[in-house]
Structure 1
């Protein structure tokens, strides 16, 4: 899947901003536009340190700005850090990376964090590729994790434009360098731009684009707070989903879990295109992705009725 080189991130932004969407539910069209842009061949797999991953960062930052989110990085929306490639030997193992952070300030004492990583494997030369026959080819990362970033941006759009002042603030974070070892989320939780004790809970999206009817959507971390039992009571969806207790492992929610913060990790599971050059936008189930984001809105809204979210250690 390729776009014209003239299709810049500003053009992409104008397209999805002008798309009509009903507030209260996610827009399949906008989700699709995000993914086709972020996972296009022109983005060259969004490798940490590349010009293309910086282009993705700018795209996310401009969306946050358009939605009126306050900058909450260390320099505007950015929280820059240095990432190191350790899986394979490369001449430039130290790379510039950044988290992109936007804040929806509702004047509340507590904040819900919503996150997804925006980096991927580039051409598969930095380690992590399962596609040994196609090292050197672009790994577009449509599911991993353009799908999660699309969800992040849709949730930012919804909560910034729904004309409701929720009883919690929201911090939207696009993490850098996840594929190098959760480096962006580790950097944030070690250098938070809001006090960690003000975080109500954290929602992470990583690979939410390849829904499989037989398996359903996994919601991992249900056991990290007893409040999730109440929050999920009576929640329904037009897709199959199940909850799993442990919040540790697999993606950026782990960094928050290790700081004793309740987490939920939304994930549609592995598939043959995982970390392969074939993880392309045309393989995403956009209808199911829309349903997943709508389900997340239900869960977030329900969580706002719970005053306390005591952490519960689960192994």
Structure 2
């Protein structure tokens, strides 16, 4: 039934495209998201049938857009196998084909403009399947459709591929890569970076799109990796069409750009923020801001055009912010608002039956004190939280509607 339904979905969307050999298909980002986030793909878990169906859809989309395999001998996929790790402190074993190994694939297509450089534009297409370890959902197993995470990034990248293909003046080549295995630990991008389908010395920079579907009314857009080359801040600010940019210098983060930063390639990661549907079955297609996604696609198109005028894109190492993150023995059970630029830590969501909910904390509260520690930003909040152990009780102070509210919280 799953295969029949997926075939039907692919047929409906791709019907008629073959009739337009010269004109590129005009499939909307919402249509791409609805295919990738449909129940028939069962959450696109890495190595699953749903993920393979998603990969087949993306291969067809790249072919219809006129992108080519990276070599004459290759197709649109880069296959890899791995043995899932049981111990989170051990490394994934690639290329080990055993009864317990999984097979997965990255999907990639090239826009060859005859340039000396090839820019990598990437987004992961896998998600959590029916839930499992990464899920924040506490109910029975259910399809985690992953519309924002990360069908949104895939859809924006397909739109970008079409716009780049239609650019008559492009000088750089562009490799569009859809990574698998991101949710299991950046597996696809890690494998690609260590087994590249091209000479990485010819790659001036890499742009990663991960969760770009929930642009808010204030148009806050997070861009990480801005310290990985000196040209990023000026480029991003001068071309900004009206976003409230939140810039972070670090090239290391929990998404696929990290794999390329570790190969000494300048990177950018675009992100519109977490939300209450993150890693839950409720992350569905109808909740995305498609106009916002269109703005992001146009912004990145302008960035690529501007970067073609940069003869040299010098790589710079950045401070690894993740190394400074304290270790926790307890959790409050909240989703922080990573785009909040004010003083304190704003709560973007509260998990059920966790300490924060039991203490009466609400979405929108701004934590300004935890125990004896003043909270001025995300890092100070994490430092304050790291001193507590299971069984401890303390006082939390939040700002709510312009007033301060004190509450007892038990871990």
Q: Please indicate, yes or no, whether the TM-score normalized by the shorter chain is above 0.5.
A: yes
Unaligned runs of 5+ residues in structure 2 are 89-97, 320-411
TM-score by length of 2: 0.69
Matched, 1:71 2:51: no
* 1:35/1:97 CA distance change after superposition, 3 Å: same
Q: What SS does structure 2 have at the residue aligned with 1:203?
A: strand
Could you tell me which of 27, 32, 55 is aligned with 2:30?
32
Higher mean Cα deviation, 253-262 or 297-306?
297-306
Alignment of 1:18-167 (within 5 A): 30-72=28-70, 75-86=74-85, 93-125=100-132, 127-134=133-140, 136-162=141-167, 164-167=168-171
Could you tell me which of 193, 196, 200 is aligned with 1:192?
196
Q: What SS does structure 2 have at the residue aligned with 1:128?
A: coil
Q: What SS does structure 2 have at the residue aligned with 1:7?
A: helix
* 1:215/1:133 CA distance change after superposition, 3 Å: farther
Alignment of 1:253-264 (within 5 A): 253-264=257-268
Matched, 1:280 2:278: no
- 1: CA distance between counterparts of 2:16 and 2:318? 43
Deviation digits for residues 257-280 of structure 1, max 9, x if unmatched?
001100000001111111111111
Residue 18 of structure 1 and its aligned partner are, at CA, apart by 9.1
- 2: CA distance between counterparts of 1:87 and 1:10? 39
- 2: CA distance between counterparts of 1:272 and 1:124? 15
- 2: CA distance between counterparts of 1:204 and 1:13? 26
Q: What SS does structure 2 have at the residue aligned with 1:155?
A: helix
Alignment of 1:180-259 (within 5 A): 180-214=184-218, 216-259=220-263
- 2: CA distance between counterparts of 1:119 and 1:219? 22
Matched, 1:7 2:8: yes
Q: What SS does structure 1 have at the residue aligned with 2:123?
A: strand
Considering only aligned residues, what root-mean-square deviation do their CA atoms show, in Å?
A: 2.6
Deviation digits for residues 15-57 of structure 1, max 9, x if unmatched?
78999xxx9xxx8x71111001100111110111111111110
Deviation digits for residues 148-185 of structure 1, max 9, x if unmatched?
100111111111123x1411110100001111100000
- Contact 2:219/2:243, CA 8 A, preserved across alignment: no
- Contact 2:219/2:242, CA 8 A, preserved across alignment: no
- 1: CA distance between counterparts of 2:18 and 2:292? 22
- 1: CA distance between counterparts of 2:78 and 2:310? 30
Deviation digits for residues 220-265 of structure 1, max 9, x if unmatched?
1111000213422421224332321111111000000001100000
Number of residue equivalences = 303
Could you tell me which of 290, 302, 309 is aligned with 2:313?
309
Higher relative helix content: 1
Q: Highest Rg: 1 or 2? A: 2
Deviation digits for residues 49-70 of structure 1, max 9, x if unmatched?
1111111101111111112211
* 1:308/1:214 CA distance change after superposition, 3 Å: same
Deviation digits for residues 188-215 of structure 1, max 9, x if unmatched?
0000011110001000000000112357
Deviation digits for residues 126-160 of structure 1, max 9, x if unmatched?
x21111224x1000000000001001111111111
Residue 108 of structure 1 and its aligned partner are, at CA, apart by 1.0
